[in-house]
Amino acid sequence: MMTANEAMQRLKEGNQRFVTGVRSVDTIIKQMQRADFVEGQAPFAVILGCSDSRVPAEIVFDQGLGDLFVIRVAGNIVAPSQVGSVEFAAEQFGTPLVVVLGHTMCGAVRATIDELEKPSTETSFNLLSIVNRIRPTVEPLFQTELKNDAQKLMAVSIRANILAAVNHLRHGSQILEQLVNRGQLEIVGAEYSLETGEVLFID
């Protein structure tokens, strides 16, 4: 069974291949072996990432079929269905690592900042449900000097949103919290750079 540290190292190595434009032969072979995964799967990491079309986890980490259990939602927010999905993977497959993957220039975080700066009466209820998940993390930043620097406000808001999701997973589920306390699961945050393709792991 792979450890969380081994899983993270595998992700880091895969991301470095992606950044340099070199694909793993193992990844390519796995994509041609669909039949091998019909009976089951054993993903070594869970990725809770943003729905942004520019951040597909399997490609960003250069992994193949069966390697990653990927959950994607705008703003990489954590709601009950996402928690349940992570619980399923951690219990069912014994996956040792969960990564909350945010990214630079996140549209959901941008929408939250825009809503806080200029509330709209026309925003759909469904979009607001995403904004309202991010709002408690971003709103306090408006009480700091960051409110005078739009670029820094955006960058710090994205990082804060990632860490809030990590904290929610660590402490918002009895199942996940017990696995973490027993050393069977590690939950970390990471930020993907649209500009460079690099993933920075944060905590």
Q: Which residues are annotated as a binding site?
A: 50, 52, 103, 106
Task: Return the ∠ at Cα 47 (arms to 151 and 193), rounded to 5°.
Answer: 30
> Mapping DSSP to helix (H, G, I), strand (E, B) and coil, where does residue 99 land?
strand
Let me know: does 127 contact 111? Beta carbons within 8 Å. Answer: yes
Report the alpha-carbon distance of residue 175 to residue 169 in Å, rounded: 10
Report the alpha-carbon distance of residue 44 to residue 156 in Å, rounded: 29
Question: Which residues are known binding-site members for Zn(2+)?
Answer: 50, 52, 103, 106
Alpha-carbon separation of residue 144 from 61, 86, 89, 130, 141 (angstroms): 35, 34, 39, 23, 5
Let me know: does 152 contact 162? Beta carbons within 8 Å. Answer: no
**199-202: strand order across its sheet:** 68-72, 45-49, 97-103, 186-192, 199-202
Name, in order, each residue with C-beta under 8 angstroms of 99's C-beta and a sequence gap of 6 or more: 8, 11, 45, 46, 47, 48, 49, 188, 189, 190, 201
